[in-house]
A and B are shown apart, each in its own frame.
Chain A
């Protein structure tokens, strides 16, 4: 099985602060991999670097066998690597439908966009109900669904979700994770950045725990769930 994403010895500096100190991880095809870690561990920096928003100091990022260490965000989107940024970042003054349409900005086939929007509405009927509402009037959970739905319009091959559970009630976290699960079932690889280890390890098959810019623990979701360090730090024994 070839890996969708390979990150090798990635180092990122913000001025003198070393955010990542040689981080390596892989995401396989149609696999959901979870990236756990505390605030400041370097989770968002990792996705930022992969998606081309943050410049890598050294190390390499390979996606679908191509070196994309210094690729620009728009090139990566064309390649099917879609980043759902932290804090949802939906367009709050545009309608739900327009928000979904922008997801297909790089798709030139208008029919494909329409079919995918329809698919998203089927997966997330609540969005269909609110298609003409402004994004900003949705609840937090709906906004997160919209952000994920918007990313799906581009037909991603690798979807990177940065803390989709942030600020959501536990029930909604579970629903967001259900959506993530159904996305994986469609064959999309997912890199799931989370603080909520319990929820994340339920959908992920493998996971990495990040601490101060390096991977400290890695393993299958079951191993991580049973690891006493993870239990103590994230699951609350």
Chain B
């Protein structure tokens, strides 16, 4: 059974079609990286999954049940944009409020566990308004985790975090995933997402344009040989005679995407009278894969 199954989801805001027949499948236990440009429909999809807004059409099943079932809702933890906390209350009291709404049997014990999990055990007495952005996001995660949810929906949880904040957040999410929960996480910081996601969904213009596992992404992401050379124009011309796709990247390296080896390139350029300063074999990451997909390069 999948944690989320969405079929032909549509959402209109007046004249604007935010979602246009979106399909999405999130397997149980996965960390699903939900990627898309601003305004592509990520947040709208997540808000619909969480029951905050109504779809115009389509079906959504959570663990095989309709997403509006109140019993299944109790097993969904949510962090949409920022946590819904009262600024003048302490972290502890804000968590107690959520625990009370969730009718937790032993709220204090659960809150303590969550605060330890999000590395906030020493900040329970702080007022929410005095917490840093990173702390607030972790409070949001702790709040979403109360009641032992089986599905976590996190909208941009690492936006605005510093390097240390991102590392902590990454560790927290991996710990959560180990407990068997399914996580749907949207983010613009694809490098971070790549470190934890097991599945990906790429949305564009309200439609899912690709869904894949991390292994499939690994296969899809082409390898290339990058060279550093002084006479770039000459090198590009010479390489272009033999290889189909030769491009200069933003760092000034020339990339050759054909099936080749560094040794073959070195010897070919040497035979043409060109000497290479630097050479490496590499693979495009999620970020480049995504950018290429958006540009329609068909990686």
Are A and B interaction partners?
Answer: no
